[in-house]
Amino acid sequence: MEEKQNFQTSLDFNQNIFKPSTRKEIVEIVKNCYKKSIPLEISGLQSKNKIGRNFQAEKTLDLSNYKGIIDYKPEELYIKVKAGTPISEIEEALKKNNQQLAFEPNDFGYLFSGESNSGSIGGVVACNFAGSRRFKVGSVRDHLLGFQGVNGKGETIKSGGTVVKNVTGYDLCKILSGSFGTLTVLTEISIKVLPKPETSKTLIIKNPHIKKALDYLGRSLSSSTDPSGGVFYPDYFGKNFILNDLTHDGGLTGIRVEGPMNSVDQRINRLSKELALIDNEFSVLDSVQTEIFWNKTKNLEVFKNLKSNLIRVVVPISETLQVIQKLKKDDLNYFIDWGGSLIWMAFDQLNSKILSEIKEITKNHQGYYTLIKIEDDFKASADIFTIDPIKYKISEKIKKSFDPKRIFNPGKMYTGI
């Protein structure tokens, strides 16, 4: 519906933090900020607010009160929620119908504050970080069916809907996913949900060597056993997993298989044969342990309360080994997800020289990095996100088309955007 142009102001514009509970209020705040060119920091549940460049914003638009499930139709496989709705609330509702968010949103709470905080759906869409099922089911952006939001002029806009197939107009769901709140304030989000698999098991292979691990992962992902997760944890992380059926505490490769019970057993057997594993070389986690293992992975629990820096690197699978070898320093701790394509790297020491080296190496290997956690004194000068000059120019134009006065999270991704 069209917004009314002149509704009564109920908000106190002298405050620095706005906590609206209606869309009308959000529109009012943005219109006011647009008129006065006041930069706004968009925030949700503070789970990922430390990701991104430092920037100055006079006011904060806190969406944590703008929450709640608007419409959930399990048989239509979607849920429509307000942007500030906690992921935990959504997952709870889905669980009752044996459904899930298949993209497994990362929980960055452990990393930043030592305890779970999976954030809000708005934040998850804004960051577009997906968990281990990425290579099978896609990222957050692949599950966003539609949204309603408020652009930088205070106009309510929408795109997509609640049906899976929809090619009406430009797919703005995609451009908003991963835009870190720099284009539009999301208000309503319709997201695809999927049935939970009947069961799941994980093949754990004892193996400390990355080369061998990437070979296992590559072969599994190219097999018809259809795995839905593939990780490698080097030796130093092995001790982080204490599970009944995990028979060793060193480096490990984990491959998850999901589906009907018979089929999962059949595929796990087949995988162990295809990978030519001998009996004492592997163990199999049942569904309970599987859930624990993959939750720990998506929640980056091996980096709980990390004091040092964390970098997220995405490269084609064929490049992973070389990237690791080139970046291997004494203080590097890493693990690999997405069947080999995602590398989480923790460095004790990070400076601009090392960072430009990482940038160069990931670029040369057709990938990119995002600085997730970084020491405060280095943060101001570091490139948190990478971009090439042509895409920067296009990004500037797109930013302007949504937010002409640059009031939303200005500079959070790049200077000038």
Contact segment (CB under 8 A) with another protein among 33-41, 115-123, 130-138, 297-305 equals 130-138
Read off the amino acid at residue 57. Answer: A
Q: Phi, psi at residue 334, to the nearest 5°?
A: -145, 160
Q: Tell me how many residues contact another protein (CB under 8 A).
A: 86
Q: How far apart are CA 29 and CA 58, in angstroms?
A: 13
Read off the amino acid at residue 310. Answer: L
**Burial degree of 170 (CB within 10 A; 0-12, 13-18, 19+):** exposed
For tokens 């970098």, what's the residue? Answer: 311
Residue 240 within binding range of another protein, rule CB under 8 A: no
Read off the amino acid at residue 321. Answer: L
Dihedral sign, CA of 300, 302, 303, 309? negative
Residue 231 within binding range of another protein, rule CB under 8 A: no
Dihedral sign, CA of 30, 31, 37, 38? negative
Query: Strands, E, within 76-227: which ranges?
Result: 78-82, 99-100, 144-151, 156-160, 184-192, 194-195, 199-206
Q: How far apart are CA 262 and CA 162, in angstroms?
A: 34
Whole-number minimum distance, CB 230 to another protein, in Å? 12
Residue 314 within binding range of another protein, rule CB under 8 A: yes
Q: Which residues pair with 333 in a beta bridge?
A: 346
Give the chain's length: 417
* Nearest CB to another protein, comparing residues 119 and 227: 227
Residue 168 within binding range of another protein, rule CB under 8 A: yes
Considering only residues 92 to 111 of the shown chain, the ones binding another protein according to CB under 8 A are: 98
Residue 68 within binding range of another protein, rule CB under 8 A: no
* Nearest CB to another protein, comparing residues 54 and 401: 401
* Contact of 17 with 59, CB cutoff 8 Å: yes
* End-to-end Cα, the chain, rounded Å: 29
Considering only residues 274 to 293 of the shown chain, the ones binding another protein according to CB under 8 A are: none
Given candidates 263, 287, 295, 308, which one binds another protein under the rule CB under 8 A?
263
Given candidates 277, 306, 332, 398, which one binds another protein under the rule CB under 8 A?
398
Residue 302 within binding range of another protein, rule CB under 8 A: no
Residue 301 within binding range of another protein, rule CB under 8 A: no
Considering only residues 343 to 362 of the shown chain, the ones binding another protein according to CB under 8 A are: none
The structure tokens listed for 179 are: 């835009």
Q: How far apart are CA 105 and CA 126, in angstroms?
A: 12
Given candidates 177, 228, 309, 409, which one binds another protein under the rule CB under 8 A?
177
Whole-number minimum distance, CB 190 to another protein, in Å? 10
Residue 318 within binding range of another protein, rule CB under 8 A: yes
Given candidates 9, 58, 70, 73, which one binds another protein under the rule CB under 8 A?
73
Contact segment (CB under 8 A) with another protein among 49-57, 113-121, 284-292, 316-324 equals 316-324
Residue 250 within binding range of another protein, rule CB under 8 A: no
DSSP 8: P
**Alpha-carbon separation of residue 125 from 11, 266, 297, 383 (angstroms):** 27, 36, 20, 22
* Nearest CB to another protein, comparing residues 59 and 99: 99
β-pairing, 194-195 vs 99-100, is antiparallel
Residue 35 within binding range of another protein, rule CB under 8 A: no
Contact segment (CB under 8 A) with another protein among 19-27, 48-56, 203-211, 383-391 equals 383-391
Residue 342 within binding range of another protein, rule CB under 8 A: yes
Residue 134 within binding range of another protein, rule CB under 8 A: yes
* Nearest CB to another protein, comparing residues 318 and 381: 318
DSSP 4: P
The structure tokens listed for 3 are: 């917004």
Given candidates 124, 221, 284, 300, which one binds another protein under the rule CB under 8 A?
221
Residue 5 within binding range of another protein, rule CB under 8 A: no
Given candidates 43, 85, 117, 179, which one binds another protein under the rule CB under 8 A?
179
Given candidates 9, 262, 322, 364, which one binds another protein under the rule CB under 8 A?
262
Read off the amino acid at residue 151. Answer: N
Contact segment (CB under 8 A) with another protein among 26-34, 110-118, 254-262, 299-307 equals 254-262
